[in-house]
């Protein structure tokens, strides 16, 4: 659970605690509904977290298997990406000149 979720849960818990002293049936129903909603949200977040982790593991496993089956293709793709990034980094760090001036060299 991250900080914002903990903060929101703390605010809701504080509101529930303040309303706990009120004996009216409306507040009792509200407390029950809010508690149920918080619990269902917690369960849904846990399920989504598990599903996302499973998806990431599946993608990593598939990529690993592809690289093991086709190592030269993977090396070619990595070389192409590295060359592209190197070209882009060199282009971005070069002094600013016109495109025509670069072509005339």
35 and 16 in contact (C-beta within 8 Å)? yes
Q: Go through 62-87 and write b for each residue having 16 or more CB atoms within 10 A of its CB, e for each that does not.
A: eeeeeeeeeeeeeeeeeeeeeeeeee
Total domains in the fold of the chain: 2
| pLDDT band at residue 100 using 50, 70 and 90 as cut-offs | low
Which residue range forms the structural domain that includes residue 9?
A: 1-69
| pLDDT band at residue 101 using 50, 70 and 90 as cut-offs | low
Residue 64 and residue 79 in one domain: no
Residue 58 and residue 90 in one domain: no
Mean pLDDT across 22-49: 85
Residue 55 and residue 79 in one domain: no
**Per-residue pLDDT at 22:** 67
């Amino acid at each position: 659970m991250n900080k914002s979720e903990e903060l929101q849960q703390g605010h809701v818990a504080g509101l529930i605690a303040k309303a706990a002293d009120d004996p009216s049936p409306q507040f009792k129903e509200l407390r029950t509904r809010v508690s149920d909603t918080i619990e269902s949200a917690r369960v849904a977040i846990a399920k989504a977290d598990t599903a996302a982790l499973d998806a990431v593991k599946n993608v990593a496993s598939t990529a690993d298997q592809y690289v093991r089956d086709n190592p030269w293709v993977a090396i070619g793709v990595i070389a192409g990406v590295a060359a592209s990034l190197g070209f882009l980094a060199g282009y971005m760090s070069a002094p600013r000149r016109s495109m025509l001036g670069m072509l005339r060299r």
